[in-house]
């Protein structure tokens, strides 16, 4: 219901002490209406109108960080970075314990490439999510603080398998005058003398890979797997080489093995999953394995993998496949309105009108003021022959239209079709005339 989001910030609304209870109720009602108006306008990318609405909330309550965070998001979408920075900073000042306010600041600094300002923000964000250490290392590299980057890389190496990007940074640092990189002969000798030392294999694999000697790198990865069968780095390296050889069977098996291992960093798993996705699309094979792999990363709170894969397939106009992943993504984020709209479009492209009926009827309860949901509910019910039900949704939806002439015209055209199916030519003609009137406004 519509109060779900409102509960997120109602506890932070100002207490209007020693005021008339009716005045308090009126103020809270105005704030709520303005907040939802801002959320609605942002959802349809009317960022200027969203800003006007959220600023009205701030005028009533200028101590609520939620309002400033919402204001910052809209300014960021408009690429008005100074205003976005100011709004996010205000949200952080009001509640420094909320991760997403810091995240807003990071987005501003990253998009404006103000990496020095981004560093202390990311250092703070690491308290919420240790995985952001990779971001901090990247920022150190961008700002030429290689000693700090290397110290953090060494710390991370003790805790996890470094991702390909982190390994690349490590090599770049070692290539500089300040950090000596072991030569190929030294590494080969070290492996012979101590075959159980994993790091020597890793360094040699990367050394060969950097010089485009993939076959030699593959051979070293196989030696690592033989010498240390439990080495996850060996599996990760072999996975890449299996893909290069178009060996989907071995690649999928290796991927699933790595994804099952809780010791492997989630970012590495996501990278491998993305590489496998590209392989599946290119070869049009191993779709069941991809679906299975997605389930293994479902616990990732930072990336909604099925949603991202669904968007990927949607952009490629593979709507049957997209709908499968978007459904999974929506289960993970059931209040993601944009996912609902993408899924509706997939169902429409595949003529799954019954699915549109079910989806829109479920989500009208959650987003009761979104006119587009009523339109699709009316559209789908008309397609499956529920003309009266479709008419009801369309007439209800007209009440929620706000300065959207294009959508209003579509409502009238669809109502004309519905009344034609209901055998009411008078109403059909009336709505066609309304649609024509709107057409003249162009």
Q: What's the mean pLDDT in 211-233?
A: 81
Residue 170 sits in the same domain as residue 206: no
- Looking at residue 250, its pLDDT comes to 92
- Looking at residue 12, its pLDDT comes to 39
Average pLDDT, the chain: 84
Each residue's pLDDT tens digit, 425-435: 999 999 999 98
Which of 162, 178, 194 corresponds to the end of one domain?
178
CATH number at residue 20: 1.25.40.10
198: how many CB neighbours lie within 10 A of its CB?
A: 18
Domain membership of residue 383 (yes or no) is yes
Residue 91 sits in the same domain as residue 26: yes
- Tokens representing 362 are 């479920």
372, HSE (Cβ side, Cα atoms, 13 Å): 14
Domain membership of residue 279 (yes or no) is no
Domain housing 215: 182-229
Residue 391 near residue 426 (C-beta atoms within 8 A): no
Residue 158 sits in the same domain as residue 204: no
Helix, strand, coil: what percent of the chain each, to 5? Answer: 75, 0, 25
- Range with the largest mean pLDDT of 33-47, 110-124, 145-159, 229-243: 110-124
Residue 18 sits in the same domain as residue 91: yes
Q: What's the mean pLDDT in 345-350?
A: 96
182 pLDDT band (50/70/90 cuts)?
low
Worst-scoring range by mean pLDDT, 298-302, 330-334, 397-401?
A: 298-302
- Looking at residue 177, its pLDDT comes to 44
**Number of domains, the chain:** 4
- Rounded CA-CA distance 433/87 in Å is 46
Domain membership of residue 328 (yes or no) is no
- Tokens representing 266 are 């989630």
Closest Cα partner for 311 from 338, 347, 276, 292? 338
Closest Cα partner for 253 from 300, 206, 286? 286
Q: What's the mean pLDDT in 19-33?
A: 52
Closest Cα partner for 404 from 361, 359, 374, 360? 374
Residue 202 sits in the same domain as residue 134: no
Domain membership of residue 384 (yes or no) is yes
Each residue's pLDDT tens digit, 352-366: 999 999 999 999 999
Q: What's the mean pLDDT in 418-422?
A: 93
- Tokens representing 43 are 């959802």
Domain membership of residue 256 (yes or no) is no
Residue 33 sits in the same domain as residue 92: yes
- Looking at residue 408, its pLDDT comes to 92
Domain membership of residue 336 (yes or no) is no
Residue 45 sits in the same domain as residue 88: yes
Closest Cα partner for 129 from 269, 277, 288, 265? 265
Residue 237 near residue 275 (C-beta atoms within 8 A): no
Domain membership of residue 341 (yes or no) is no
Domain membership of residue 261 (yes or no) is no
Residue 121 sits in the same domain as residue 11: yes
Residue 383 sits in the same domain as residue 415: yes
Each residue's pLDDT tens digit, 84-93: 899 999 999 9
Q: In whole angstroms, what separates CA 254 from the centre of its chain?
A: 26
Closest Cα partner for 324 from 364, 280, 386? 280
Each residue's pLDDT tens digit, 273-306: 988 999 998 898 999 999 999 988 888 888 898 9
Residue 63 sits in the same domain as residue 146: no
Residue 42 sits in the same domain as residue 96: yes
- Rounded CA-CA distance 403/408 in Å is 9
Residue 123 sits in the same domain as residue 12: yes
């Amino acid at each position: 219901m519509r109060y779900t989001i409102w509960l997120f910030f109602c506890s932070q609304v100002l207490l209007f002490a020693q005021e008339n209870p009716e005045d308090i109720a009126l103020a809270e009602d105005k704030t709520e209406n303005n907040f939802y108006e801002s959320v609605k306008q942002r959802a349809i990318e009317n960022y200027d109108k969203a800003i006007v609405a959220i600023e009205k909330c701030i005028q009533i309550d200028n101590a609520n960080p939620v309002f400033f965070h919402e204001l910052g998001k809209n300014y960021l979408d408009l690429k008005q970075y100074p205003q976005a920075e100011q709004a996010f900073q205000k949200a952080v000042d009001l509640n420094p314990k909320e991760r997403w306010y810091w995240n807003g600041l990071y987005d501003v600094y990253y998009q404006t490439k103000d990496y020095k300002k981004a560093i202390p923000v990311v250092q703070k964000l690491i308290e919420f999510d240790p995985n952001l250490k990779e971001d901090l290392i990247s920022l150190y590299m961008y700002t030429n603080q290689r000693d700090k980057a290397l110290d953090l890389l060494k710390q991370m190496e003790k805790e996890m398998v470094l991702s390909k990007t982190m390994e690349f940074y490590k090599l770049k640092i070692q290539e500089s005058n300040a950090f000596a990189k072991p030569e190929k002969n030294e590494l080969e000798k070290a492996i012979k003398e101590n075959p159980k030392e994993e790091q020597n294999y890793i360094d040699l694999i990367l050394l060969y890979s950097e010089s485009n000697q993939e076959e030699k790198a593959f051979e070293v990865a196989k030696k690592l797997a033989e010498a240390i069968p439990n080495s996850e780095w060996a599996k990760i390296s072999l996975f890449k080489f299996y893909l290069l050889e178009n060996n989907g069977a071995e690649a999928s098996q290796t991927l699933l093995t790595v994804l099952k291992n809780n010791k492997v960093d989630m970012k590495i798993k996501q990278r491998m999953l993305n590489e496998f996705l590209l392989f599946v699309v290119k070869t049009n094979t191993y779709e069941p394995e991809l679906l299975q792999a997605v389930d293994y990363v479902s616990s990732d709170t930072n990336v909604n993998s099925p949603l991202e894969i669904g968007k990927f397939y949607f952009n490629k106009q593979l709507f049957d496949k997209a709908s499968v992943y978007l459904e999974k993504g929506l289960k993970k984020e059931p209040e993601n309105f944009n996912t609902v709209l993408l899924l509706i479009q997939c169902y429409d492209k595949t003529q799954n009108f019954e699915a549109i009926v079910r989806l829109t009827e479920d989500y009208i309860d959650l987003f009761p003021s979104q006119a587009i949901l009523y339109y699709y509910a009316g559209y789908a019910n008309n397609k499956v022959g529920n003309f009266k039900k479709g008419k009801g949704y369309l007439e209800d939806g007209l009440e929620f239209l706000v300065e959207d002439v294009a959508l209003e015209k579509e409502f009238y055209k669809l109502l004309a079709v519905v009344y034609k199916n209901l055998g009411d030519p008078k109403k059909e003609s009336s709505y066609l005339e309304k649609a024509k009137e709107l057409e003249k406004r162009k």
